[in-house]
């Protein structure tokens, strides 16, 4: 009997230790960084070159997954101006950076946010037929696995067009459109576990053992300036369920208070009281 009590007493602790050792506990799935911004007025911008280190987001392709960006090292751990990319690129015109053949920093991801185009037809810019034309505010969201000790910094840059820009093949002006440039900078904020994700195929291995961080980038309009378009179906469904529940509750209350159920109960109580009164009258007569 004593052995059974001991087994029952230590069984939950054993299960807990087993779950912790096998990492069955639910971890945090992902970290997210969000920035909301106004679309602004259309401006004439130069035709941007298609570089392999820049990403174009528009209504036709508003979500991407990037795996080839590595975070900057921790301060004091092989940190230098070259590795941290603490140059003056923020003060420069971002359009000039996009004309470079190589990325200005291996820890940065530059995005071209074309809010008026679909990436296929140029006349969409001129005619204003883009699906996002009616939206004035947008959201840029970046998500990455929580197992990567990385800090993500988002910054938006409005293209600056010089008033007296020299005309050349590389500076041809396109139709005015709402265009923004976004920079995603990765910085290490913890000590990573070496080769933790390569076996699972979640990251990309770089030189010197550096591992690329999987980034999920999403650009979408904000309905009414506050609600992301991807969340709109969920909100509509919840509102439909809520309205249906309220309607059913109102009908049920009307039925109960109006006599559907309460009336039957009252009539039954009256008949029982009448029968009880008749029985008491007969007893008195007898």
pLDDT class for 82, splitting at 50, 70, 90? very low
DSSP state of 167: P
Q: Which residue has the higher pLDDT, 199 or 261?
A: 261
What would the pLDDT profile of 92-150 be if each residue is shown by its tens digit?
Answer: 566 666 666 666 677 888 888 888 876 555 544 555 556 888 888 999 999 998 888 88
Cβ 175 vs Cβ 124: under 8 Å: no
Cβ 180 vs Cβ 155: under 8 Å: no
What would the pLDDT profile of 29-61 be if each residue is shown by its tens digit?
Answer: 678 899 999 988 887 766 665 666 677 888 778
pLDDT of the residue at 1? 43
Cβ 93 vs Cβ 129: under 8 Å: no
Rounded-to-integer distance, Cα 216 and Cα 231, Å: 17
Q: Where are the beta strands (DSSP E) in 163-266?
A: 179-188, 215-223, 227-228
Instruction: Specify the range with the lowest mean pLDDT, choosing from 27-31, 103-107, 248-252, 262-266.
Output: 27-31
DSSP state of 41: -
pLDDT class for 218, splitting at 50, 70, 90? very high
């Amino acid at each position: 009997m004593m052995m059974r009590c001991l087994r029952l007493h230590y069984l939950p602790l054993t299960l807990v230790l087993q779950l912790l050792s096998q990492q069955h506990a639910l971890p945090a799935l992902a970290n997210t960084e969000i920035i909301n911004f106004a679309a602004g007025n259309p401006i004439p911008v130069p035709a941007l070159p298609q570089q392999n280190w820049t990403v174009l987001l528009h209504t036709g392709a508003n979500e991407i997954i990037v795996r080839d960006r590595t975070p900057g090292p921790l301060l004091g751990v092989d940190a230098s101006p070259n590795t941290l990319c603490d140059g003056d690129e923020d003060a420069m015109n971002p359009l000039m950076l996009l004309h470079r053949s190589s990325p200005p920093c291996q820890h940065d991801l530059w995005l071209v946010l074309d809010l008026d185009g679909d990436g296929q037809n140029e006349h969409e810019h001129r005619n204003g037929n883009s699906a996002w034309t009616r939206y004035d505010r947008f959201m840029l969201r970046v998500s990455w696995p929580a197992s990567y000790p990385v800090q993500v910094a988002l910054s938006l840059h409005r293209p600056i067009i010089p008033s007296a820009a020299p005309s050349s093949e590389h500076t041809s002006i396109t139709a005015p459109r709402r265009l923004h440039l976004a920079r995603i900078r990765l910085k290490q904020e913890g000590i990573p576990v070496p080769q933790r994700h390569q076996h699972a195929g979640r990251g990309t291995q770089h030189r010197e053992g550096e591992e690329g961080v999987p980034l999920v980038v999403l650009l979408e309009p904000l309905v009414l300036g506050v609600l992301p378009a991807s969340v709109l179906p969920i909100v509509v469904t919840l509102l439909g369920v809520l309205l249906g529940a309220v309607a059913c509750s109102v009908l049920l209350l009307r039925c109960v208070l109006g006599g559907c159920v309460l009336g039957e109960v009252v009539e039954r109580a009256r008949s029982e009281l009448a029968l009880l009164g008749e029985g008491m009258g007969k007893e008195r007569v007898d």
